[in-house]
Chain A
Amino acid sequence: MVKNENMKNSYKHERYYVRVIKYAILQIIAAILIILWLMPLYALFVGGLKSNIAAAATPALLPPSKPSGDAYYFVWKGFGGIYGLIGLEYPLLREILIAVPVAALATFLGAMGAYFFYIIMNRHFVLSTIGFAIISLATYLPVETTTVPLIQIVSSLHIYNTYYGVIIAYLMFYIPMSALLMSIFMPSIPNYLLEAAKIDGASDWKVFWKVMMPLLVPGFLSTFIFTFLQIWNNFFIPILLISNPHLMLLSIAVRQYAGGYAIIYNRSFAAGVVGSIVPLVVFIFLGRYFIRGLAALGGGAKGV
Chain B
Amino acid sequence: MKKQAYLMVIPTLFFSGLLLFTIVWNIWLSFQNSSILVHKPKFVGLATYQYLFSQYFFKISTMHTLVFTVGLVAVGNVLGLLFAGLLYFIPNNVQRSIYLSIFIYPLAIASSTSALIWEWLLNPTIGIDWLLKLMHLPAPYWLGTSNMSLVSMIMIEVWAYTGLAALFYLASFMNIDKSIIEAARIDHASDLKILFRILIPNSMNGFIISTALLFLFSFRIFTIPFVLGGSATSPTLMTYVMYVYNLFISEYFSASAAMAVIVTLIAAAVILPFAILGLMKWVFRR
In the complex, number of A-B residue pairs with CB atoms less than 8 Å apart: 330
Instruction: Say yes or no: is A9 at the interface (Cβ < 8 Å to chain B).
Output: no
User: Is A259 a contact partner of B228 (Cβ separation < 8 A)?
Assistant: yes
- The listed residue (B12, B101, B171) touching A112 by CB distance below 8 A is B12
Q: Are B112 and A258 in contact (CB under 8 A)?
A: yes
Stretch from B37-45, B48-56, B144-152, B278-286 at the A interface: B278-286
A47 within 8 A of B: yes
Asked if B210 is at the interface (CB within 8 A of a chain A CB), the reply is: yes
Interface residue? A74 (CB, 8 A) = no
- Name the contact of B19 in the complex, choosing from A39, A138, A232 (C-beta under 8 A): A138
CB pair B113 A254 closer than 8 Å: yes
Write out, one digit per residue, whether chain A residues 14-49 have a CB within 8 A of any chain B CB (1) or not (0). 000000001000110110011001111101100100
Known contacts A60-B123, A109-B11, A116-B6; decide if A44 and B286 are in contact (CB<8 Å): no
Are A183 and B283 in contact, CB atoms less than 8 angstroms apart?
yes
Q: How far is the CA of A95 from the CA of B104 in the complex (A)?
A: 23
Which of the residues A138, A204, A300 comes within 8 Å of B5, measured between beta carbons?
A204
Given A112-B9, A129-B276, A272-B117, A147:B256 Cβ within 8 A = yes
- The reply to whether A43 and B276 form a contact with Cβ atoms under 8 Å apart is no
> Across the two chains, which residue of chain A brings its CB closest to B28?
A149
Asked whether A147 lies within 8 Å of B130 as measured between CB atoms, the reply is no
Question: Do A173 and B19 have beta carbons less than 8 Å apart?
Answer: yes
Instruction: Say whether A134 contacts B15, CB under 8 Å.
Output: no
Task: Return chain A residues, CB-CB under 8 Å to B107.
Answer: 294
CA A112 – CA B13 in complex, angstroms? Answer: 11
Interface flag for A269 (CB, 8 Å): yes
B202 in contact (CB, < 8 A): no
Report the Cα distance A260→B86, complex, angstroms. Answer: 40
Q: Is B72 an interface residue (CB 8 A)?
A: no
Q: Is the beta-carbon distance between B113 and A133 smaller than 8 angstroms?
A: no
Taken together as a complex, chains A and B put the C-alpha atoms of A44 and B209 apart, in Å, by 32
| B1 & A148 in contact (Cβ 8 Å cutoff) | no
Smallest Cβ-Cβ distance to B108: which chain A residue: A283
> Which listed residue, B1, B19, B116, touches A203 by the CB 8 Å rule?
B1
Beyond A40-B159, A43-B121, whether A299 also contacts B110 by CB under 8 A is: no
Inter-subunit contact B12/A109 (CB<8 Å): yes
Taking a contact as CB atoms under 8 Å apart, the answer to whether A141 and B264 are in contact is: yes
> Cβ of B22 and Cβ of A175 under 8 Å apart?
no
Partner among A145, A198, A268, A283 whose Cβ is within 8 Å of the Cβ of B101:
A283
Does B179 count as interface, using CB distance less than 8 angstroms?
A: no
Interface string of A278-304 (1 = CB under 8 A from B): 011011000110110011011111111
Contact with A along B126-139 (1 / 0, CB 8 A): 11101100000000
Question: How far is B18's CA from A227's CA once the two chains are assembled, in angstroms?
Answer: 19
Whether, in the assembled complex, B57 has its beta carbon less than 8 Å from a beta carbon of chain A, the answer is no
CB-based contact B167/A295 at 8 Å: yes
A59 within 8 A of B: yes
Is A110's CB under 8 angstroms from B5's CB? no
**B26–A149 touching, CB < 8 Å:** yes
A268/B120 contact (C-beta < 8 A), A109-B12, A251-B110, A259-B228 known: yes
The reply on A61 being an interface residue by CB < 8 A is yes
Contacting residues, chain B, for A304 (C-beta < 8 A):
100, 167, 170-171, 174
Contact with A along B210-224 (1 / 0, CB 8 A): 101100100110110
User: Knowing that A115-B8, A142-B263, A179-B12 are A-B contacts, what are 6 other residue pairs whose CB atoms are under 8 Å apart, sorted by A's residue number?
Assistant: A132-B275, A136-B272, A137-B268, A172-B19, A204-B1, A251-B223
